[in-house]
Amino acid sequence: MLGRRSAKSRPLPREFLEWQVLLRRHTMEVRNGAPHAGVAPLVTVRRPGPGPGFVSSSVICGLLPHPRLLEAKTREFRALYESSIAEGARVVYDRGIRYLLDYYRSADDFDPESITTLLPKKSALVDALRAEPRCGLVFYVFDLSDRSEVGRFRCLHLDAHAEVLESGPVYDNVWWHNTLFHGAADDHVVIHFRHQATFDTRFGALEPVTA
């Protein structure tokens, strides 16, 4: 990890974590892995250097396995990739989808205090997070035609503390998971967003959402 270590993280709201797991299962079952808007938050962080300003960028976020499962799941991701890549990237992708159909079943199987993303090492957002790890993530879903639990209207702001990782167990898990679907991501870092607080911000509100 580069930069300052985070303050102690706090549990994500249970409803939020359950929604994120449900979204991913829906993605595997209905969308063949294509991400839903609900897993693509806007990350905002103060811009480094003199003067006011912010960097805002959309990312695709991921869930980490629960700490008790982290290293075992990393080994499974890696084994799936290495046993399939000789048959081609499409075979790896399809087997990855089948694997994840059973992977996203219960919120109890995932880290209750953080989310992640993988970004190019040389990018404005990474530079900003190295300089200022305090950040906000906005999860915004607005689709009047979808009233399901997956797609219903949400606007949630998460305060987080970001760690920029270039090695270690969390990095390895995210890297191998991503590799199943996009190939080896050289010159990338993992951002480990450690949750601090969540707020419902619909229509100008700022209501705390508790765990």
The token pair that represents 133 in the structure block: 């790890």
Q: Taking the CA of residue 195 as centre, how many other CA atoms within 13 Å lie in the half-sphere pointing to its CB?
A: 25
64 φ/ψ sector (left φ>0, alpha ψ -120 to 50, else beta): beta
- Between the alpha carbon of residue 68 and those of residues 58, 64, 74, 97, the distances in Å are 30, 11, 12, 23
Look at residue 7 and tell me whether its pLDDT is greater than 70.
no
Tens-digit pLDDT profile for residues 180-207: 999 999 999 999 999 999 999 999 999 9
Residues 188 and 60: their CA atoms lie apart, in Å, by: 14
Angle at Cα 107 formed by Cα 130 and Cα 2, nearest 5°? 15
Strand partners, 199: 157, 208
Q: Taking the CA of residue 110 as centre, how many other CA atoms within 13 Å lie in the half-sphere pointing to its CB?
A: 25
Q: Where are the domains of the chain?
A: 14-209
According to the model, what pLDDT value does residue 2 have?
Answer: 39
Q: What is the mean pLDDT of residues 175-179?
A: 98
According to the model, what pLDDT value does residue 147 have?
Answer: 76
Mean pLDDT in the chain? 93
Question: According to CATH, what is the number of the domain 14-209?
Answer: 2.30.110.10
Using alpha carbons, select from 39, 45, 42 the residue that is nearest to residue 62.
39
Tens-digit pLDDT profile for residues 42-59: 999 998 776 668 899 999
Strand partners, 8: none
